Amino acid sequence: MGPKSSVPIHYDFRDFKRHIDLTHYATSLGYKVDSRKSTTHAIVMSLDKADKIIISKKDGIWVYFSVYEDGDHGTIIDFIKNRTDKSVYTIGQELQSWLAPEKILPDLSVSKSHESVYDPERLHHLFNQCTEVNHYSYLSMRGLTPSLLQSPRFSGRVLQDHFRNVVFPHFKEGRVCGLELKNEHLHLFIRGSEKTFWRSNYFKDDTTLLIAESPIDAMSYQALHNLTQSFYLATCGGFSRKQQVWLQRLIKQLPNISATIIITDQDHGGDRIAHQVARAFKDMSNPYKGTIKRHSPEQRGDDWNDVLKQQVCSLTSK
């Protein structure tokens, strides 16, 4: 009897993309969750200083993109191909073992809700239950004072729920569409949210738009620089294509804005968002005629809240 022929196994890569948690796989390669930057729907993971990725689940499929490399994005298959020289067949062999029920998975500290259906009625109900923030321990730890939070610029834009979590509302077409929750140990979007932008209050004589990565960074910048006639937006994570469209629409509604300052973090993620925001202005059908510049902290790795906390610490130590 001759030798048995070797018949290659055909793997179902659709199952790999849907059922293998990309955050768990990345953890097996040494990536660690950045709980400060992550939300329920977007998990930020870093490999020392060599790589930073953002992982989410869209239409049932795990996807990622690299903060450092524009072309580095896709599914778990792309993630492996872009980091190894493994063949597609070898990748299939490896991932097949990840579908095994006895696979021991890492215990990640960030709670993930893989998919969320936009639910405006639920959000409107929860939003109406929020109150003006009056419990300042978490925000005080971040260097933000009650007088700043109660100022006309930010009044009503920083709320709290009945658990005393800080709530940052997002709006679309004048109606709340997302609620971002934060405290010392929590950072997530309420189930049913759609992320647009967090925004400060806008006044008719405002001439400058400032775009930050987070509401806390935006308020920290105001605490540091005490600007007037300045309106703030926060992307609350990465800058998506939808946000690009919303930003372009918003600019058309604000004819008095003659200057834009991008105040993103001084790191690769901040570099990427700054580049994307600048491109959004450049790609407008009616060209933006105002000035655009970036102002980030001097120290690499810092955000504006880091700068504020350093200033507060310096003043209290004297």
- Give buried/exposed letters for 118-128 (b at 16+ CB in 10 A, else e): ebbeebeebbe
Distance CA 91, CA 112 (A): 25
Is residue 170 located within the same domain as residue 220?
Answer: yes
Give the pLDDT mean for 1-27: 74
Tally the domains of the chain. Answer: 2
Q: Using one digit for the tens of pLDDT, what is the confidence trace for 195-215?
A: 999 999 999 999 999 999 999
Is residue 125 located within the same domain as residue 94?
Answer: no
- Residue 205's pLDDT is 95
Pick from 62-66, 67-71, 94-98, 102-106: least confident: 102-106
Contacts of 21 (CB under 8 A, 6+ apart): 62, 105
Q: Using one digit for the tens of pLDDT, what is the confidence trace for 128-156?
A: 999 998 777 889 999 999 999 999 999 99
Is residue 164 located within the same domain as residue 268?
Answer: yes
The answer to whether residue 247 is domain-embedded is yes
- pTM confidence score: 0.73
Q: Using one digit for the tens of pLDDT, what is the confidence trace for 40-51?
A: 678 889 888 778
The helix/strand/coil state of 121 is: helix
Q: What domain range is 41 assigned to?
A: 13-98
Q: Using one digit for the tens of pLDDT, what is the confidence trace for 95-131?
A: 988 886 555 555 555 545 445 688 899 999 999 999 9
Is residue 288 located within the same domain as residue 164?
Answer: yes
- Residue 4's pLDDT is 45
The answer to whether residue 113 is domain-embedded is no
C-alpha separations of 147 from 156, 166, 199, 233 in Å: 13, 16, 18, 20
Q: Using one digit for the tens of pLDDT, what is the confidence trace for 288-306?
A: 999 999 999 999 989 999 9
